[in-house]
Amino acid sequence: MAQEVQISTDFITLGQFLKLADVIQSGGMAKWFLSEHEVFVNGESEDRRGRKLRTGDQVDIPTVGQFVVS
């Protein structure tokens, strides 16, 4: 079951999302995390911390869990 992460804006960057979802401790860790872990957005591999996520997007991190932006 995917964990819902609510946003209050039209979009959020992947780096901001990782912090909001408590996957990383600070925004500065995003670049490192994306280089060391597989992250999939809507089924496609993603390594750009600036990738914009919108409501309904699904983020899958095999070593951490599944998330959906709401």
- Domains annotated on the chain, with CATH: 3-69 (3.10.290.10)
pTM across the whole model: 0.91
The confidence score (pLDDT) of residue 61 equals: 95
Is residue 26 within 8 A of residue 38, CB to CB? The reply is no
Query: pLDDT tens digits for 52-64?
Result: 999 999 999 998 9
The confidence score (pLDDT) of residue 1 equals: 77
Contacts of 61 (CB under 8 A, 6+ apart): 23, 37, 38, 39, 40, 67
Query: pLDDT tens digits for 31-48?
Result: 999 999 999 999 999 999
Query: Distance between CA atoms of 37 and 70, rounded to whole angstroms?
Result: 23
